Chains A and B, each alone.
Chain A
Amino acid sequence: MYAVEMKDIIKRFGSFTANNGITLLVKKGEIHCLLGENGAGKSTLMNILFGLYRQDSGEIRINGKSVENHSPLAASRMGLGMVHQHFMLVDALSVWENVVVGLEPGGFRIDRKESIRKVQELSDRYHFELNAEEQVGNLSVGMKQRVEILKTVYRGAEIIIMDEPTAVLSPPEVEQFLMILRDMRADGKTIIFITHKLKETLAVADRITVLRAGKSVSTIEAGNASARELAGMMVGHEVDLEIERPFNEAGGAVLSVEGLRLLPNAASTVSFDIREGEIFGIAGVEGNGQKQLEEMIMGLIKCREGRISVLGKDVTKLGTRKRRQLGIGYIPSDRLNRALLSSFSLEDNYLLGKQFSDNYVRHGIVRHKAVKEAAGTLMREYDVRAAGMDQAAGSLSGGNQQKLVVGREASDEPKLIIACQPVRGLDIGAIHYIHEILLKLRKEGKAILLISAELTDIQQLSDRIAVLYKGEILAARKNEDFTEEEIGLLIAGHREAV
């Protein structure tokens, strides 16, 4: 018995075909993984299933019942739930309010106590470690994600679509998350799980469907699959994902951070230097001061204690624009909020952060031609797949948005790159590509601060690694002087591992 049957789904956006005859069959009670490169059409297909988009042709059945022109509300009623790639939460409201909205316990008045109790109970059951009364705006990205999951669970969804839920989670969080998935499956729930991480796929999936360029390549039993084979199916040819970090002579200090207090109650302050041609990796679970660090360096939040200098110049008191003009490229961890103008064209998005540079604006007038050219080059070099330069950035696939941001911030010869979660949401090919880019930038003598929750990122790329825990650096050493186990323990706060 299939919980979900989608047959020959076709969906076009203008002249572009995002889904070109996809068939997806999901059995009841299984974890079904949907794989595919960035822009393969996974989110589009799921949005159609959930009733957010309407397919141009093709047939959908949910639990054997044919559905047509259904709305997300109708989908929910049929037991479908969706956790989106981009959060759909109200920052100003608390966790419980976000979870119960639309389905509040109580009659005319919302039963506040009961709501909080229910939400807290659910959160505790799945070890989400959420405080139901906390305001969502204060939560880290990883925590917001849990609120999203809580929302569907609360709504009693039987078939749950998860679009890259693990992209924002740290390795231990991923482990927990996969446990949750297994629990849900044991509960009889059906799960469609989109991820770019083959390890996760192989760990939980019962069956796997691979999409490529808008078509379904095939559906296989997870038991018979290998990472290499899957990667090959996704890109259509053999892939080589080996990466090498050659020795690179580091030069003078580009970024110096001295005595920075990241969190008000941190046990100590943070200090480090990053030199030319060096990648300095910050390992650790998100929410341990990473966000504060990136925003303090960029001048987006005040630093109350400590000093930041770039190329010997004290920038602690400077605004963001002045700092950028010193040659800082900034890849924010929260790309949708901090790095993109969703409804603006790709060209306009390319200009963001470069509008104060003479290369693109002369005497206050935007040089559209230069912007267009540079944006075009970027899109070719980074393989940003879009219908055209006029496409709204918000409608790019998640991975393509990230490539756009990385490419933009790496262009125009920055001296320092603040790269926060730079490969979040990217497919393996694209991750490999971004890794190569970062190493190339390093070779060109750029200083790179790499903040990533992905331990593999940090280990493959960094010359030196610092582990951030509760706003302090527990240890900072050369990459070679850490074992993976040590880093893992430090990330979890085991100071004695040093």
Chain B
Amino acid sequence: MGSADMRSFLAFLGRSLAAVLLSFAVSALIMLVSGYNPALAFASMIRGSFGSANSFANTLSKSVPLIFAGLACAYANKGGIFNIGCEGQLYMGAFVSTVTALSLRGMPRLFVIIASILTGMAAGAAVGSFNGFLKAKMKLNEVVVAIMLNYICRFFTSFFVSGILKDPDSETPQTLPVGEHYMFSKLIPKTQLTTALFLALIAALAMFFFFRETRAGYNVRAVGENGAAAEASGINVARTMILTMAVSGGLAGLTGVTEVFGKSERFIDGFSPGYGFTGIAIAFLAGNHPLGILLSALLFGIIQAGSMKMSYEAGVSTSMISVIQGLVILFVATPELVSIRIGRRRTA
């Protein structure tokens, strides 16, 4: 990284940090006004997420899907496409990988896991590239299409797990378990922290490398920056867009895969608490920087993991975390709120 590069990255980090701190301050104010003790609330949030090895493992495991979702959104953003379809893509990823594992039952463990990961990613990629295709070739707005595809994917999977793929012994719509044997290995016993964490770290590093060092990464960035110039340089813009959405969809698919094979052991209808949408916020907070995403996903993981403890120790509702997350985004999105004040003071 060049020095100017480094400087702008640090400046960015500073801005993000300022936004985070500001959002904590405002949430504290809200808690105060509503009659809670913010100091106690934040302390219990920290205890809840860092208090013990297990709670920290829990925090990390909550960050894993957020990393994948954040990377998925960031990848598309770099290519100039807003992928709001991660949610649908991750449902398809989770669903197809579960079906793969269920139908390969009895086969060797590694083979099944790898096959499930690949088919899950492929499913997400298929949905993503379809979206990309409609944008690149048919000039349809990717956001509108993605929102519709989200519904289609969500209800497509719902249809199957409520019907022919439903676990007959269960009340709720969900598939049979893929079997303990086929799950990712746990890093700490009795927690949900699995080797999926490594997969997430590898994905982030790979993406960092990809955009920095490879021609393909350069081409994606170039298309994202200026399609007309990219085209004149010889890049096939439509194909690049479609591939961008394929990769983004594949990463979103991984979000679903790792939830099944790391946590739930099966496909559960409606399992995602909106990872795909949180991913947008995470990518945004990280300025689409793959390594920044690790940090911002961790932050969101901490907030989410600590929310339970915050709720029963300080009595603050867990919905407070949505407020905090929302505020973070608000402050990142409107740097003017923070910096203009500072700028004014400096020149005055």
Contacts and interface: CB of A to CB of B under 8 A. Distances in A.
Contacts of B347: 54, 69
B213 A389 contact: no
B336 to A, nearest CB: 12
Interface residues of B, number: 26
Interface residues of A, number: 39
B214 A364 contact: yes
B229 A339 contact: yes
Interface stretch (B17-25, B127-135, B216-224, B313-321): B216-224
A352 B229 contact: yes
B347 to A, nearest CB: 6
Contacts of A356: 215, 234
Given A352-B222, A355-B215, A321 B228 contact: no
A341 B231 contact: no
B141 to A, nearest CB: 13
Interface stretch (A29-37, A162-170, A234-242, A342-350): A342-350
A389 B229 contact: no
Most buried by B among A338, A342, A345, A387: A338
Most buried by B among A14, A325, A352, A368: A352
Interface in A414-472: none
Nearest to B233: A353
Contacts of A324: 233-234
A283 to B, nearest CB: 24
A74 to B, nearest CB: 14
A207 to B, nearest CB: 31
Contact of A353 (B214, B228, B232): B232
B226 A341 contact: yes
A332 interface: yes
B229 A390 contact: no
Given A320-B231, A390-B3, A390-B5, A341 B222 contact: yes
B3 A355 contact: no
Given A342-B226, A345-B2, A355 B232 contact: no
A365 interface: yes
B323 interface: no
Nearest to A353: B233
Given A337-B228, A390-B5, A319 B216 contact: no
Contacts of B219: 355
Given A366-B214, A388-B4, A300 B231 contact: yes
A298 B3 contact: no
Nearest to B234: A321
A340 B2 CA distance: 20
A365 B232 contact: no
A348 B232 CA distance: 15
A319 B236 contact: yes
Contact of A366 (B5, B218, B230, B233): B218
A10 to B, nearest CB: 13
B215 A365 contact: yes
A69 B228 CA distance: 36
A333 B199 CA distance: 47
Most buried by A among B229, B235, B348: B229
Contacts of A365: 213-215
B2 A341 contact: no
Interface in B252-288: none
The 6 A-B pairs of least Cβ separation, nearest first, read A321-B234, A390-B4, A353-B233, A390-B2, A338-B232, A341-B225
Given A69-B348, A300-B232, A364-B214, 13 more contacts: A300-B231, A319-B234, A321-B236, A337-B229, A339-B232, A344-B222, A345-B5, A348-B218, A348-B221, A351-B218, A355-B215, A356-B234, A366-B213
Interface of A: 14, 54, 69, 298, 300, 319-325, 330, 332, 337-345, 348, 351-353, 355-356, 361, 364-366, 368, 387-391
Interface of B: 2-5, 213-216, 218-219, 221-222, 225-226, 228-236, 344, 347-348
18 contacts: A14-B4, A319-B236, A321-B234, A321-B235, A324-B233, A337-B229, A338-B228, A338-B229, A340-B229, A341-B225, A344-B222, A345-B5, A352-B229, A361-B215, A364-B214, A364-B215, A364-B216, A390-B2
